[in-house]
A and B are shown apart, each in its own frame.
Chain A
Amino acid sequence: MNGSIADVCIVGVGAVGGILAKQLTSAGLKVVAFERGPALKTAEYAQRDSISYIARPDQLEGVRHEPRIFRTSATQPGNLRYGTSPFNVLGGSMLLWTGQASRFMPGDFKVYSNEVASGLADRAGVDLRGYDVVDWPIGYDDLEPYYERFEWEFGVAGVAGMNPFAGPRRKPYPLPPLKMTARMQLFGEAAKRLGYHPFIGPAAVTSEPYRPPAPYDTRIPERPACVYCGHCNHYGCHVNAKASTLHTAIPVALQTGNLELRTNCKVANITTDDKGMATGVKYFDPNGVLQEQRARVVILSAFVFEHVRLLLLSKGNGKRFKKGLANSSGLVGKCFFGHGDMRVYGLFDNFIINGFIGSGAAAMRIDDFNGNNFDHTGLGFIRGGTVGCSGDGAPVSRMDIVPPDVRSWGKEYKEYFMRYYTRTFDIHMAPETLPRRDNCVDLDPRRRDRWGLPLPRVTFAFHANEKRMHLFLADIGERIFREAGASKVWTELPRPSPTRQCGGTRMGTDPNHSVVNGYCQSHDVPNLFIVGSSVFPTMSGYPATATISALAYRTAEYIERQRDWFH
C-alpha cells in the first residue's frame, strides 16, 4: 500500500488497535496498522521470568526505547521512568496484563451529575477546587452491547449477578469462574462476615477451552484453559489462556487480506492538509528512515503518553494547529490520572496461602466502597475504589514486602521471608483519582528518545480527595485481613505516581472543554480518532481494558457507517 491512500491508518496495535483492525478490515476497509515494537512469538514473551519482567523491565524490548519523564510538581526537572504500560509490541500491554475484565459501573459515567451537582460532595465535606470533574458524553447503556461483545470474543470468566453493584447486562459471562484459591476463600469469607458483598471478579482468562460462539466472531481461534501457573500480572501467558489481541483479533484481521501490519515502525507525526483534515502519518521505518503513509482516516490507539505526544508534535504548517493537533480546547495532555497503587498486606500463622498458584485476575472483590456505592457524608472525599485480594508472584515480586517492624535484611529478614512467603497475600485497592488540569502530560523540553523525538513528561500528584480516600480504603482492607485471621497487617500507601493511566484527550460534548466526542472523534479534525483510556473524562475504581475495548468496538462501528468517507 506504499504510495497509495489507505482507508484507515491505525497507530498502535494493542487491545484497542487489535479490535479496530479486526472490525474495520472485516467491514472491507483497507487498513495500514503501525506498531512501534516487534511481533513476538509466545516463547519470546512468555518465559515467565521474574528477573526480566519484574526486576528489569527497563531492559525489555517493548519498554527500553520508550521512557518518560516523571515529576510531582511543575518546578522539578523530573526523573526518567520505564514502565510496562504501555508494552510496545504487537498485542501491547494486553500480553502482560492481569486479565481483570470488569465493566465500569453506570455511575462511573455521571460523576459530575451524581456527586457534584447533586450536592453530595458538599455533604461529604470535600473541597473540589482545583479538580475538573465532568460527566462522560455517553453512558453505561451506550457501551453495554460492546462490553458484551468484548466478553464473548475474549472469553471472560465470571458469575453474572454476584455483584449487586454491577450494571445490568443482557447476557451472562461466557465462561464459568476460575478455580477458587486460598486468598479468594479467606477474603470472601471475611468480607461476607463483615456484611460486605464479595463477588468473583470477572477475568479475561479461560476457565475452560474457549472459542467464541455465534453470533460473536467465530473466526477467532480456540484458546486452551488456564493452568494456574500463577504468573499473570506483568508476565506473558505461556498457554494463551489470558486474553490478548495477539491471539484473537489480530490473526483474524490478517486473514481478511485487508490489513497491512508494519511492525517496528514508529509514527512521528500526523499530517494534515489546508482544510485541517488529517491526511496520514509520517513514521520511522525499521531502518530509522522517515516515511509517509496517506490515509482517509487516522486512528490513534497507542496509549495515553503517545497520544498526547503525537498530538503535541503534529503542529502542521500554518497557524491552525500551533498548539498541537486537535487541541483548540487546550486540553490535550490535561486531566491525566489513574489509580493509586496501594496494598494492605497480611501474614497468616494458621493458614497456608501459596499465593504463587492461581490466576492473577481470579480474585474475590467487593464494590461496597467503590464509586458512589456508599454513604460519603462527612468522609471528606467523593468516589472510592474496588477492593480485592491479590498477591501472586515469584519471590522476586515479594522480596521487598517487609512488615515495618522487621529489618529488611539479615537473619531476621531471612527468617521472616522463609516463614511467610507461602503464608501471605495482599488486599489491593484501586482508588480512583479525580481529574485536574495540573496533573498533565506534555513534552520534555530537553530529553529525547532514540528517534530524536521529545520524551513525554508527566506532572502528577495526589491531592486532598485522593489522600483521604487512600486512608479510608486502607482501613477497610485492614479490617478484612483481621477478620480473616491475619496475625500481622500493614498498609503501603500509594507512591506518588498513578497506575492504569488515563486522560489527556478527554471526551465530551463541548469542543471547548474536551478533545473528542462520544465516538472518540476529534472535535477539530473529523477524520482523526483517538481511542483508549486517554479519552476517559473521569476514572472508575476498575481497570480500563474492558471499557477501552468496548469503546474500540463502538468507534469501529461508527467509522464503518461513514461509507461516503471511503467511496
Chain B
Amino acid sequence: MKLKSQSSRQYRGERLQALTVRQARFIDAIAGRILPVTDTPGAVEAGVVFYIDRALAGPYPHLLSRYTRGLRALDKHAKRQFGASFEKLGDEQQDSALGDLESGKIAELPNGEAFFELLRTHVLEGVFGEPSYGGNKDMIGWKLVGFPGQQWGYPETYINKAVDLPPITWEGLPKKPGQS
C-alpha cells in the first residue's frame, strides 16, 4: 500500500510531499494564469508547484486544509459558471473564475479573497524566491526581471546601466576565506 501511494505522488518527475497529483495539477493551472507563459517562461516552468508543496510539507502544514477547501470551492465554481473543471477551461474563463475568487464572489468560500491572496503570494514567492525552496527553477524568475541573485557584492553601483551579470545563488558563490 505504502509503495503504491508513494508512486502515485510522482508529478512532473518529482515526488510530491504534501499535495496530491490532482491538487498539483490544479495549482499548476492556477499558477499558469497568475504568471503566464508569454514569449518568456512563467510560473509553471519555474516549478512553483514544488515550492508550494515543500511549504505545505514543511513549515506551513496548517495551510494544507485551506488549499484543499479553497481548490474544491474554486472547481465547483468553475463547473457551475462554465460547465467544466477549472483545469479544462480556456484562459479567459480561468481568469474570470480566478477574478471571482479574488473579489470574494465564490459563495461556498467565505473569505475567498484571502485564499486568492495566499495563492498569489505563494505562486510569486515560488517564481522569485531562492531555488533551494523548490521553485525558481534555473533561476527563471530572476532572469525574467533582471535580478543577478545573491551576488557577493558589486564592484560599482551601475547607475543608469544594465547589469549583465548572470544570476547566482548563495550556494553557488565561491567561498571567501575568513567566513564562519
Contacts and interface: CB of A to CB of B under 8 A. Distances in A.
Interface of A: 41-43, 47-51, 55-56, 59, 179-182, 185, 226-231, 238-239, 351-352, 354, 356-358, 394-396, 399-400, 408-411, 413-415, 417-418, 421-422
Given A51-B129, A409-B120, A185 B145 contact: no
Contacts of A185: 159
A33 B159 CA distance: 46
A179 to B, nearest CB: 5
B26 to A, nearest CB: 17
Given A50-B129, A185-B159, A410-B35, 13 more contacts: A47-B150, A47-B170, A49-B130, A51-B129, A228-B154, A229-B153, A238-B179, A351-B160, A352-B160, A394-B128, A395-B141, A395-B145, A408-B120
B19 interface: no
B154 A48 contact: no
Given A357-B157, A357-B163, A399-B124, A414 B146 contact: no
- Decide if the interface of chain B is mainly helix, strand, loop or mixed: loop
Interface stretch (B8-16, B36-44, B81-89, B105-113): B36-44
Given A399-B124, A410-B33, A352 B162 contact: yes
Interface residues of B, number: 42
A352 B161 contact: yes
Contacts of A399: 124-125, 128
Q: Is the interface of A mostly helix, strand, loop or mixed?
A: loop
Contact of A49 (B120, B144, B162, B170): B170
A185 B159 CA distance: 9
A11 B61 CA distance: 34
Contacts of A408: 120
A228 B155 CA distance: 8
B64 interface: no
Nearest to B150: A48
B180 interface: yes
A353 to B, nearest CB: 8
A130 B40 CA distance: 56
A228 B153 contact: yes
A43 B173 CA distance: 13
B6 interface: no
A422 B146 contact: yes
A418 B120 CA distance: 17
Interface string B122-138: 00110011101100000
A356 B159 contact: no
A55 B122 CA distance: 9
Contacts of B59: 56, 59
Which of A229, A239, A410 has the most CB atoms of chain B within a 10 A radius of its CB? A410
13 contacts: A43-B180, A50-B130, A55-B121, A179-B157, A180-B159, A227-B154, A231-B150, A238-B152, A354-B157, A394-B128, A409-B33, A414-B38, A414-B42
